[in-house]
Chain A
């Protein structure tokens, strides 16, 4: 019976450990997301940073009284292939039932989870500010049944905007260098396939020739076939769309196979500032996309403040590893929400939602204004809209090359 005794003791300890420690009068914000991913981890920390700053300034003003913000989180593990949607939702359900947050920030990582979470939010009726999931169906659902889904807002980049921005960026390359042959290499998952499909159409309309397009299952570690075909087909621009760690192999292989094309797209391992050291210079000339500013800030005071405060709170190393998707909008989301609660004078969901819709402020990601379907508007000028950034690795540094309003220099084709 020793073993069962030990088991029982362990269970009791865990139950006690899970007990809530929030003080009375605190406003709780829930963060149910894939904490096992860097996007999730960094977004959580950004949200916590924002909460700390608000509390340091006295807290959120709700109808005359100042209340502290408290962030609670749960790991939905939804990024792992074996976790089904309902498992991730069960985690979110548990968070809502136990901690009773007044709103959710950061939100779901995977599109399927995001869309199903919208249904849960429609029942629970608390504001949901997502910053990671990118599916366009998010806006479609809100447009289709506004009253039901009006509690959902998105501050992160959406897939249609990504396609648009990538298209504009590639067109600037074409305008400058006259390149017109492109090869796509992407991950065999819904968002990447959708992005490439959309981008192919946009580019074909713009006069580009798509030399090839290959899909790789998650976990693939040899990209020689695509690279050979790209080299063989004289592709001038290689567009990768990956967020799996194994795409690090692609980065190294492009270099070792001496593919003379400009690599411009989205490879998550090559995005953080530490990537130069990780890949020991193999990424020179690679153009990578940051979905939102954060890892590289805009020249605005608010954006600069975010990166510096993050470094102060979590260390330079953490700041250098910042993911390119999630931290910026998650930081802004907390401020946007706090401000909406202040203007509404209460935490009552309908009132807060009404105020959220009227948001018009400068954030770390640029100007934050929601469109009719509760998506932050992204554009090319940070004074008019939020922006996505593209940078090129050059001599160990990330140089912003897009959009023109913030570019530090022009694209440079590889002189290999």
Chain B
């Protein structure tokens, strides 16, 4: 991208139409965003020549990953309480990623706990019936759970946007009620005494691996041709239909991929606490990922993770305040939707790579065409 000429020092940068200029033309000003110098320099192969540019490019990507990978080994420093918080954060991050993928396809899910609960209960059933051990159990529950969840949602995939939202809101509550009234699957007391995972380090690394795999996988998916079609579903599904694609089939695929991290999270939590019950379908597993994704920034998947890492520890700190905690993060959610809809991550990424400035239009320049 070309560099702008620095404005003539003799002319004051004008903002608004009121500054006078000798020529008689009303100078206007506009705000423009241009890439920072360092971004421009690190956009191609020449980045390898400069360690500083390389660092600028790679550190934001590698530092968090490195931190995540190292965190479980710092047990003595963090204490088991914050390790538990990290586990919860990662679980919510997985659910938020799942939500994000659905949202990028145009399906707004108000009930991520549906997937979470299905994964959790399947893990519980597999453990009590077959005793396969936690790792195999989690893997099986994840895949079977995703298949089951997708199958259950199939008839509803013909619906658009808001209807999907309504039904996903109602589904976890319906399942919770069903379990409560029929007393199946442990009823109100749930299934307890399930097999535990070997140790805390295994738990952490399992989740971290899942998180990294999900982020990488989803981004691959989005960048691929199939991903392009999926995004088009959100923007203009009639066009996709006109292009000859089968919309229900596309949505089914999207739901399946999105279900995987969510059912994994559910199965994991079941084995971590050695318990699964009605609270697996609770509204907290729907609202917290939703809030994380919105606060962090929808689309792009990094935002969802960033949001989770911000919100869950905050929510933890507020634990002593009882229900105020929920009030606070609903208000945070509301605030972000209204004030910073692009989310923290997008905002930060934009600031990192671009700068904004006000550029006056001088004599002889025309107003930019209306955008």
Contact = CB atoms under 8 A, between A and B. Distances in A.
Interface in A160-202: 188-190
A82 B279 contact: yes
Contact of A84 (B282, B318, B322, B340): B282
B340 A14 contact: no
How large, as a class, is the contact surface on chain B? 35 or more
11 contacts: A1-B351, A7-B310, A11-B317, A74-B320, A83-B279, A84-B273, A85-B273, A85-B275, A86-B273, A94-B81, A217-B177
B338 to A, nearest CB: 11
B85 to A, nearest CB: 9
How large, as a class, is the contact surface on chain A? 20 to 34
B280 interface: yes
Interface in B325-351: 335-336, 339-340, 344, 347-348, 351
Contacts of A22: none
Contact of B318 (A1, A14, A90, A189): A14
B278 interface: yes
B199 interface: no
Contacts, number: 75
A112 interface: yes
Contact of A190 (B176, B189, B284, B344): B189
B279 to A, nearest CB: 3
A77 B314 contact: no
A13 to B, nearest CB: 10
Q: Name, among A3, A77, A188, A189, the residue most crowded by chain B CB atoms within 10 Å (CB to CB).
A: A3
B84 interface: yes
Contacts of A97: 81
B81 A93 contact: yes
B220 interface: no
Given A94-B81, A188-B180, A217-B180, A74 B340 contact: no
A84 B189 CA distance: 11
B83 interface: no
A83 B336 CA distance: 26
B320 A18 contact: yes
Given A90-B84, A189-B188, A84 B319 contact: no
Interface string B244-279: 000000000000000000000000000001010111
B277 A85 contact: yes
Nearest to A72: B320
A91 B282 contact: no
B135 interface: no
Contacts of B335: 3
Q: Name, among B188, B190, B275, B282, the residue most crowded by chain A CB atoms within 10 Å (CB to CB).
A: B188
Nearest to A6: B335
B139 interface: no
A218 B282 CA distance: 15
Interface string B53-85: 000000000000000000000000000010010
A1 B356 CA distance: 14
Contacts of A57: none
The 9 closest A-B pairs by CB, nearest first: A82-B282, A75-B322, A84-B279, A86-B273, A82-B283, A14-B317, A82-B284, A190-B188, A3-B340
B282 A3 contact: no
B339 A83 contact: no
B181 interface: yes
A3 B275 contact: no
A35 B81 CA distance: 23
A10 to B, nearest CB: 8
Contacts of B284: 82-83
Contacts of A83: 279, 282, 284
Interface string B93-124: 00000000000000000000000000000000
B323 A36 contact: yes
Nearest to A91: B319
Contacts of B321: 75
Nearest to A1: B351
Contacts of A190: 188-189
B317 A4 contact: no
Given A81-B176, A86-B273, A190-B188, 17 more contacts: A1-B351, A3-B340, A14-B318, A15-B317, A18-B317, A36-B323, A81-B278, A81-B282, A82-B283, A84-B277, A85-B277, A85-B279, A87-B279, A91-B319, A112-B277, A188-B181, A217-B177
A84 B280 contact: yes
Interface string B296-324: 00000000000000100010011111110
Contacts of B277: 84-85, 112
Nearest to B321: A75
Contacts of B177: 217
Contacts of A7: 310, 314
Contacts of A15: 317
A87 B323 CA distance: 13
B323 A75 contact: yes
